[in-house]
Amino acid sequence: MTDRKRVWFENAERKLDPGLVEQLRHSRKVTNQESNNKEIPIIVYLKRNCDQGKKDDLLKVCNADSNNKLGRELRSINAMQGHLTPDRIKEIKDHEAVDRIFYDRIVTSFMDIASEQTGAVKVKEELGLTGKGVTIAVIDTGIHPHEDLTNPENRIIAFQDFINGESEAYDDNGHGTHCAGDAAGNGSLSNGKYVGTAPEASLIGLKVLDEQGSGRLSTIIEGLEWCIDHKEEHNIRIISLSLGAPAYESFRDDPLSLAAQTAWHEGIVVCAAAGNSGPAAATISTPAIDPFIITVGSTDDQNTLERTDDVIADYSSRGPTIDTFVKPDIYAPGTNIISLLAPGSALESELPEMVVDESYIQLSGTSMATPICAGIIALMLEANPNLSPNDIKSILKSTSHPTLDDVWGYIEAESAARMAQNYLAPAEAVQES
C-alpha cells in the first residue's frame, strides 16, 4: 500500500476525461508544483438543465483574467471550447453548470485503378451515374482548385477556412486535395486515367487542419456544425472525414463522435476513416467509433483489377471499438492511390518521389478509402435522392462482397447503385402493396 496523497485531478472521477487528467499530470510534473498558469485547450460539457444564469456565471469565472478564456459554443454537443489553466479547471470542475471537462485533443489526417476496381467506372458506363447534383463536404486540410475539379466547370461550390480565415480555396498540406480527387476528380489532366468515383459530384472544402495536417477536436466539430447549418443551401448529402484521434471514451461521451452523430441524424451521410493503427485489434479512432456513421477500412488491391488477391491493408485499423462494436462497416481501396496534387503543398515537398505526371501524387491510408466510399455514395444518391443515411449504410453493407476476412465486406459500386435505384422506404413499400 502507499500513503501518497492523491492530487485533486486524480480524485475528480468522471468530471475530467482521461486525456485531460494526463495533460494535468504532465503540466504538474513539468512545473513541479501544484499551481501553474500554462493554459490547456479544453471542451466543457454543460449540464442539460443549465440555465442562462448558471452559464453566465461560469463564463464570468472562466474569463476573469487574461490567462483563461471560455466562450466558443459547440451547440451540437451542448458544450463550450476554450483555454484554461489547471487552477481554473480545478475551480470550475464542480461548478453547477459543468457536466464534464474534456481535453481538446489533437486530430490528424490519416495518410489509378481504384475507381475501376470498385465498379464505379461500370456504374457510369451502364447506369449513367456520375454523382451529378450531389454535394460532398470534405472536412480536411482544404482543397486546391485542381483542373480535375474546375474543368469544364468549377465543382468546388463553397470553401470555409477555420484555420487561417482565407476566402479562396487552397490547400497548404495537400491531403484534402488528394481526398477530394479520390471522391470527385474527373481525370481532366490525365485523359481520364486518374478519375474519382463520382467525377461530376460537387465539392465543399472545409479547412480544419493546418499545414502539418493537424487540428483540434473543437475545430472539426465547428466544421461539422457548418455543414449542418448549410445543408439545404448547398445540398450537402455526404461528409467525408479522413481524420481522427485516439478514442479514450465511449462514443456516448466522445465530443467528436457525438458531433458526427448529430450530422448523421440531420440527414447527412457521414463517412469516417477507421484509422491507420492496424493490424492491432481495437484501434478504431474517433469519430469512426460511432455506431451510426459509416466507418471505412482500407484494402490493398495488389495493383490488380482482380478482387481475389485483395487483402485488408496491414495499416488499416481493426475493431472492435472501445464500446466493443463491430467496425469497420465497409472496406474500399486505399493503398497506392493516385489522385490530385496540390502544388507547393507540404506533401509535395515531403514526398517528391510520390509525385506522378506533375499533377498527381500517390498516397496510401484509410484517408483514401473514405472519399472513395463517399463518391460511391454520391452515385447512390444521384440514383435515388430519397435515401436516408441509414438506407445508404444498409445498402452498402448488404451489397458488399464478402471476400475479406472480416464481418463486413468489400464495397461494390454497381450492386449498391442498382439497389439504390430500386430501393423503397418501408412506407413506400406498404403504399405500393
C-alpha cell at 142: 482544404
> Nearest-CA neighbor of 373 among 336, 328, 340, 403?
328
Active-site pick, 104, 175, 240, 301: 175
175 is catalytic: yes
For 196, residues 6+ apart whose C-beta sits below 8 A from its C-beta are: 115, 181, 182, 183, 184, 185, 186, 339, 371, 372, 375
Q: Is 367 a catalytic residue?
A: yes
Exactly one of 188, 285, 367, 400 is catalytic; name it: 367
Q: Report how far residue 264's alpha carbon sits from residue 224's, in angstroms, rounded to the nearest whole number.
A: 10
Report whether 136 contacts 376 (CB < 8 A): no
Q: What 3-state DSSP class applies to 189?
A: helix
Number of Cβ within 10 Å of residue 294's Cβ equals 25
- In angstroms, what is the C-alpha Rg of the chain? 22
The C-alpha cell 481538446 sits at: 104
Whether 401 is catalytic: no
Catalytic residue, chosen from 17, 112, 140, 290, is: 140
* DSSP 8-class letter at 209: S
CA dist 350 → 7, 144, 363 (Å): 43, 17, 12
Q: Annotate 4-46 with three-state secondary structure.
A: CCCCHHHHCHHHECHHHHHHHHHHHHHHCCCCCCCCEEEEEEE
Helices 366-383, 413-421: inter-axial angle, 10-degree rounding: 30
Which amino acids are annotated catalytic? 140, 175, 367
